[in-house]
Amino acid sequence: MPPPAAVTNTSTDRLTLLLESTGEGIFGIDMDGCCTFINRAAAQMLGWPAEQVLGRNMHDLIHHSHADGRPYPECDCPIFHAFRRGLPCRHADEVFWRADGSAFAAEYSSHPVLENGVVQGAVVTLVDITERKRAEELLRRSHEMLETRVAERTRELRELAAHLEGVREAERKRIAREIHDELGSLLVALKMDVNWLERRVDPARPELTAKCQRMGALVDAAVDNVGRIITDLRPSILDHQGLWAALEWQAQEWQRSAEELRVDFKMFIEAGVEPPGGGLSIAVFRIFQEILSNVARHARARHLWIRIDVDAPPNPTLYLHVRDDGVGTSAGALHAPTSYGVLGMRERAAHFGGRLGIDSAPGRGTQVRLVMPIAQEGGKT
């Protein structure tokens, strides 16, 4: 069995070999913060010959300043706190300073050295993370650039969608006007002619009288259908009486058509809030129509609650809340790429600075909330 001195020398040699072979920088300090040993990796990282580091205060030598050049007092140094309190520490966002005065980003840890339960100093391990920081910065910039491009493209697509919607609404308005002016007038003229014929039919020919009456009924049905088509294309009340009247009319019309559904409708508009015009009023009205259409097609509800409120100036906001007790749906269905109705409502709202939220679950009904700011300029939008 070798003598103790031989064992100690062998252990020391192995420790030295281990320290020199590792790629991480490692150095030791005593209770005064002076270097007791430093491996080759740390010396090269710091730009100091090992023999010029031994015995020197490491904080004053390599950790004396923050990245922006502000002094870094030794009393604030985590490394010194760690071994003087007997607690390890780890930091990943500080800098160390090289012999040439340049700084590098470092990740380091400090562990106290104990002998017989008494702290004698610390061992510090450090890694130069300059390349990692550079890669993180490049990645951050790439993400910012990508987010900017996505935001720009989203804005462009939203503006395009709004433009197309405006063109579509203008076309609906034109078609509705032409149907009213052309087809409507033709049907009225036809009705007058049928009535003229009915008055002149020989009373001895009751079959001709009945035929005229059936023709008149068909003309009346055609007039009703034309009126419904015109209303679906572009409700005249929206242009002539404004959004508030149009929303109330739509709720009442829908309530009359939903015979088996109980509808509770409440609407409150603060005094002094003029109905918005242009695209905003059309967007709100079409969103309301789409909500009611979804209830009719999918909800299978027995009870529907509709609440419309508009805050007072100077920053009026419209709150539209529609809730049903129907079958509901899953969150996945509401956010599916093919849920074009939901996507369309959200895009309409977002284009004018509004928010559309939908809460639903299978068997628990559905709630739709629209919050839309209404800009007022001299009483007009």
User: For position 15, what pLDDT does the model report?
Assistant: 62
b/e 275-292 (16+ beta carbons within 10 angstroms → b): bbeebbbbbbbbbbbbbb
Pairing of strands 262-269, 303-310: parallel
pLDDT at position 4: 42
The architecture (CATH level 2) of 236-373 comes to 2-Layer Sandwich (3.30)
Cβ atoms of residues 31 and 80 within 8 Å = no
Mean per-residue pLDDT pooled into runs of 10, the chain (381 residues): 46 64 85 91 92 93 91 87 81 90 92 86 91 91 92 83 80 84 85 87 84 89 85 83 91 83 91 86 91 90 94 89 92 82 88 92 93 67 40
Question: What is the Rg, in whole angstroms, of the alpha carbon atoms belonging to the chain?
Answer: 40
Contact criterion met (CB below 8 Å) for 84 and 77: no
Q: How far apart are CA 226 and CA 229, in angstroms?
A: 5
Asked whether the bond before 314 is cis by omega within 30 degrees of 0, the reply is yes
pTM of the model: 0.58
What lies within 8 Å, CB to CB, of 278 at 6+ separation is: 381
Contact between residue 326 and residue 299 where contact means Cβ atoms under 8 Å apart: yes
The upper half-sphere exposure of residue 362, i.e. CA atoms within 13 Å in the direction of its Cβ, equals: 3
Nearest to 216 by CA among 201, 194, 198, 200: 194
DSSP lists the bridge partners of residue 309 as 268, 319
Would you kindly state where each structural domain of the chain is located, as residue ranges? 4-128, 158-234, 236-373
We find that the CATH architecture of domain 4-128 is: 2-Layer Sandwich (3.30)
Whether 324 and 295 have beta carbons less than 8 Å apart is answered as yes
pLDDT at position 11, please? 56
What values do phi and psi take at 358, rounded to 5? Answer: -130, 125
Helices (H), the chain: 4-21, 40-46, 50-53, 58-62, 78-85, 130-178, 184-200, 206-233, 236-240, 243-257, 278-294, 331-334, 340-351
Q: Could you tell me if 75 and 101 are in contact, meaning their C-beta atoms sit under 8 angstroms apart? A: no
Helix (H, G, I), strand (E, B) or coil at 122: strand
What pLDDT score does 12 carry?
A: 55
**What is the DSSP annotation of 5-55?**
HHHHHHHHHHHHHHHHH-SSEEEEEETTSBEEEE-HHHHHHHT--HHHHTT
- CA–CA gap between residue 345 and residue 73 (Å, rounded): 59
